[in-house]
Amino acid sequence: MTQLITVKPVQGGWAVEAGLNAYPLVFLSGGHAERKARQLAQVVAAQGHDAEVRIHDRLSAPVGSFLYRADLN
């Protein structure tokens, strides 16, 4: 099963929601939020699970996604 990690706008910043935490991580910068989402996806992949990062713009429209395949080595 692929772990979904999303970056979405919230009041005052950007949220990273991963289902790994009960609460989202919140950042002032969208760039910082995206970097954290990618780091989380790399950790998930290193643990042997697929991860997908989905990025949304300021209007909450999807603008991109990145798939991280499980590292099975």
Distances (CA, A) of 39 to 11, 19, 59: 23, 15, 24
Domain ranges of the chain: 3-68
The pLDDT of 14-26, averaged and rounded, is: 88
Residue 71 pLDDT exceeds 90: no
Q: Look at residue 72 in the predicted model and tell me its pLDDT.
A: 82
pLDDT in tens, 35-65: 999 999 999 999 999 999 999 999 999 999 9
- Could you tell me the pTM of the whole model? 0.91
Residue 33 pLDDT exceeds 90: yes
* Average pLDDT for the chain: 94
3-class DSSP assignment, residue 10: strand
